[in-house]
Structure 1
């Protein structure tokens, strides 16, 4: 009995309408002090308010009138909007105004999560909201609380539903699925993926098929045409089973944040998508992570579980705070890669002296493999360099920003002068630019 009363007291909340009624009653009592003929009015008003209060409490507590639960995915995608659904149903015979609080993980640092909905009798209502995590790891959800208010609106009752669960945040698999679906439906151009003209034909013959408008007339098979009595053409496919390695620098230079995510997380998300695209092109995808120590190494393969293996490794990767050992990177690549491969190296080179230290090892790698160095563009500095200057301080700031932006361009030029391909891209365009470069390399048959 004592426990039941404690639960009743803890879950009963007084509404502003009740306090407004008490304020009006107090004002009427004050007025009746000066106008004695009104003395009965405040008493009647207060008694009516008291009766409504007890009636409201009885109505809202007479049954367990609310059912609710949270429907969430098995895992969350880092850097993407993840849909979380709340399904609530009222067992009362009248409309209920409900406020919902979902105890979301502390990593989001939100203290104003309140959703207002109206529940009709015996009609489930689904409310959807989105969460965008910016770090990989485990995110713990708490309870789901619903505050139910009757049409009288003097009190509300809190219902607490135990919905505690912990969800892992993986690299951006939603982005990966988006690109996969667009590739299947030939809609990659909508997100900036270019249609690359193939230079010549690869040596892998696929089949002889009927000529359709748009086929290259140079591929007409005249012998088959003579036998069939209709134009037949040779069909070729891109070379398969080529090795594509994503190499991720996880040193301190990748700790820099952009739009909530670190550069390491952008590189991880892009690597996952690029590996997925390579596997869909029937190439073999592999992964290497490096800093001052050798990290994870996954040999290139195209078996069904390869992408999941890459995702599990990327899920656990964290930034280290020392500089990358490029000599170690070179020896790791030489030991792991047994044939000529495309090596996509995600890093962040900020200055020419930093490039000079790494360039000898880049040259050695490019002697055996096709090296593609992906460098991040500092969009904040670029915006600063393009903004107009209004005073002397702005002029100094703009000049320094222009110097750093120009130095990034010099880094790209220096790499090109040494025969090394590179991409200078902003974090938000990283995935698209990496896929475009992969397609261009495939089309040019340079692997």
Structure 2
């Protein structure tokens, strides 16, 4: 008896194994979109394997169907061989049970009815139809199923009522299968359109061009997979992850959907696949399919037209791509031309020899010097990772550095870049031209803060060795304690008088608020005292730098770009280089 029951049990397990080769997703999907990374590894601890004394099958095994279990590629996309055995182990068990080896037949192509039956038997919400396809039952299905169950419970003891409930349940299953069969397979074609690049913090539009290649209308829910670092919102302003794009696309028609993305991080990012669900005519099931659409996109520092307004205000003219460099007339040491005297001209600019020859007042015009050198130095140390709103201090420094480089190159100066923390991370010698600006932006795209303290002595010695000519060295950094401040002063002092150094720091609005706020509680008193000590240390550092001839800039984050450019223009105007 036990032997016959064992044979029946083995046969049952093998039959379920053949059916489950269709692939049943785990019951914890909850009807959500199935994304990469949700597959389960094969089981190696099934009852059959334990009864036969076989070792557990490792997750890295490859089944005889020719798939890697973790990638859901076996016969219809199953996440695992349901018996927990590879087909070769199944063959060994059948031979051990006395069956001839040729009794093992490859499982036939499973029907959709068996797929649905397998999903119901396993109690799952979705059944895979392939590596990139799945069927998901809807809330309407569960509502009707609940009514059938209630009818069955209400008809206990009533044969007619029980038969009616069973018939209704069977009809529901048949209707569900028919609804799933009627949904066109792979009928939707999607093409994603991305901008060439994004600007940090600037929203951009992503377009999805949808084309229905079938004659039937499709009730769709579309979900793209932007990088997780992006903030993606629908046209209604809701997060894309919580509110997929919905539409009804008529047969053989096209439509375009859009959504907005924004990134507060710089760097290279990847878009993944596009998922969509098509609802059946009866509304009982949805077929989910995946369209492979990998794409790369780079997020640049903010060099958009909106940010260029600050630069235009500083230069007094509108910057335009491809605009020819014109002489910057005004204060300077390089003679540019002569013209007739104007009432607002200073007397010291009158050329008396030319006036005597012409018989009328002639004024000399000067232009700011070109071919001067600017080295932008950016600290990548741990203090620069502190957040101020949506951006870190490093982000604010990089955006200001990009504007400063653009201004200097527009004025004809040579601009270089040096990134550092405890060592030299990147160095670009000062040069001119559009290619130099592109190289600076490209280097700043991937700049990330490090959990290291800056080594100012090493960095400024390196900069001095690489730049023999007099150079305006602008260092974006942060100051916290006396030790850091002392090393900064000691590192910058040897640069003078050959070079002109300048430190640029962000004032902490929280620190200023804590100083100005009148403390009301004991905790606020401690905060006020601590903030005052930090502020005093910073002021002592500023005074020490200024006493050695180092220029300083310390402004709130929103004023950093404009203040840095204005200080650079002031240096140019006063001919300090």
Which category describes the TM-score, using the shorter chain as reference length? 0.7 to 0.9
CA distance in 2, matches of 1:84, 1:232: 59
Residue in 2 aligned with 1:179? Answer: 307
In the alignment, is residue 123 of structure 1 matched against residue 254 of structure 2?
A: yes
User: Deviation of residue 51 (structure 1)?
Assistant: 6.7
CA positional deviation for 1:404: 1.7
For residues 374 and 311 of structure 2, the distance between their equivalents in structure 1, rounded to whole angstroms, comes to 18
CA separation of 1:3/1:165 partners in 2, compared to 1, >3 Å: closer, same or farther? farther
**CA 187–343 in structure 1, closer or farther in 2 if over 3 Å, else same:** closer
List aligned pairs for 1:142-221, cutoff 5 A: 142-150=272-280, 152-170=282-300, 172=301, 174-175=302-303, 178-180=306-308, 183=311, 201-204=331-334
Using a 3 Å threshold, how does the CA distance of structure 1 residues 88 and 284 change in structure 2: closer, same or farther?
Answer: same
Once structures 1 and 2 are overlaid, which stretch shifts more, 101-110 or 160-169? 101-110
Deviations 1:280-310 (CA, angstroms, capped at 9, x unpaired)? 2222111123333334322211133111222
**What does 1:298-447 correspond to in 2, within 5 Å?**
298-387=428-517, 389-447=519-577
The structure having more radius of gyration, on CA atoms, is: 2
**d(CA) in 1 for partners of 2:341, 2:220:** 64
Q: Secondary structure at the match of 1:2?
A: coil
Question: Retained in 2: the 8 A contact 1:377–1:408?
Answer: no
Q: Distance in 2 between matches of 1:202 and 1:188?
A: 17
Structure-to-structure mapping, 1:24-35, within 5 angstroms: 24-29=147-152
Map 1:74-93; keep pairs closer than 5 Å.
74-78=196-200, 80-91=202-213
Question: Aligned residues, how many?
Answer: 434
What SS is found at the alignment partner of 1:298? strand
The reply to whether residue 100 of structure 1 matches residue 222 of structure 2 is yes
Correspondence for 1:17 among 140, 145, 153: 140
Which of 261, 267, 277 aligns to 2:397? It is: 267
1:2 aligned residue: 109
SS of residue matched to 1:202: strand
What is the aligned partner in structure 2 of residue 132 from structure 1?
263
TM-score (norm 1): 0.77
Q: Secondary structure at the match of 2:293?
A: coil
Q: 1:155 to 1:353 in 2, by over 3 A?
A: same
- Do the aligned partners of residues 183 and 167 (structure 1) sit closer, same or farther apart at CA in structure 2, a change above 3 Å counting? same
Q: Is the 8 A contact 2:189 2:212 kept in 1?
A: yes
Structure 2 CA distance, aligned partners of 1:49 and 1:233? 96
Mapped contact 2:408–2:414 kept (Cα < 8 A): yes
Q: Deviations over 1:392-419 (max 9, x none)?
A: 1232123212332343334334433443
Partners of 1:188 and 1:45 in 2: CA distance: 79
Q: Which moved more, 1:26-35 or 1:280-289?
A: 26-35
Relative distance call for 1:57 and 1:290 in structure 2 (3 A) is: closer
The superposition leaves residues 364-387 of structure 1 with CA deviations (integer Å, 9 ceiling, x where unpaired) of: 323122221012323333344445
State the TM-score, normalizing by the size of structure 2.
0.62
Mapping of 1:61-76 within 5 angstroms? Answer: 61=184, 63-76=185-198
Aligned partner of residue 528 in structure 2, secondary structure = helix
Give the match for residue 121 of structure 2.
Answer: none
Name the Cα RMSD after superposition.
4.6
User: Equivalent residue of 2:434, what SS?
Assistant: coil
- Distance in 1 of aligned mates of 2:337 and 2:310: 26
Instruction: Look up the match of 1:194.
Output: none
3-state SS, counterpart of residue 331 of structure 2: coil
Q: Can you give the 5+ residue segments of structure 1 that lack an aligned partner in the other structure? A: 191-197, 226-230
Q: Return closer, same or farther for 1:236/1:151 CA change in 2, 3 Å cut-off.
A: farther
Distance (Å, rounded) in 2 between the aligned partners of 1:115 and 1:238 = 56
User: What secondary structure is seen at the aligned counterpart in 2 of 1:349?
Assistant: coil
Aligned-partner Cα distance in 2 for 1:310–1:4: 59
Mapped to 1, the partners of 2:144 and 2:492 lie a distance apart of: 77
| Alignment correspondent of 2:38 | none
How far apart, in 2, do the equivalents of 1:232 and 1:38 lie?
Answer: 113
Describe the superposition over 1:136-165 as per-residue Cα deviations: whole angstroms up to 9, x where unpaired. Answer: 4x4333211111225643221112111123
Between structures 1 and 2, the one with greater helix share: 1
Q: C-alpha separation between the residues in 2 aligned to 1:103 and 1:74?
A: 18
Q: Select 1:285's aligned residue among 415, 420, 442.
A: 415
Whole-angstrom distance in 1 between the partners of 2:353 and 2:190 = 70
Q: Give yes or no for contact 1:182–1:188 (8 Å, CA) kept in 2.
A: no
- More deviation in 86-95 or 284-293? 86-95
Give the Cα–Cα distance (whole angstroms) in 2 for the partners of residues 316 and 277 of structure 1.
22
- Provide the secondary structure at the position in 2 that maps to 1:362: helix
* Residue equivalent to 2:179: 56
Unpaired stretches in structure 2, ≥5 consecutive residues: 1-107, 116-127, 233-239, 319-327, 356-360
CA distances 1:7-62 after superposition (whole Å, capped 9, x unpaired): 5375111111222222234445555679999999978976875675455324422x
Deviation at 1:390, TM superposition (A): 4.1
Larger RCO of the pair (alpha carbons < 8 Å, separation 6+): 1
Q: Secondary structure of the residue that 2:497 maps to in structure 1?
A: helix
User: Is the alpha carbon distance of 1:21 and 1:440 closer, same or farther for their aligned partners in structure 2, counting shifts above 3 Å?
Assistant: farther
- Are the aligned partners of 1:252 and 1:321 in contact in 2 as well (CA < 8 Å)? yes
Indicate if the aligned counterparts of 1:247 and 1:287 stay in contact, CA closer than 8 A.
yes
Separation in 2 of the partners of 1:307 and 1:52? Answer: 64
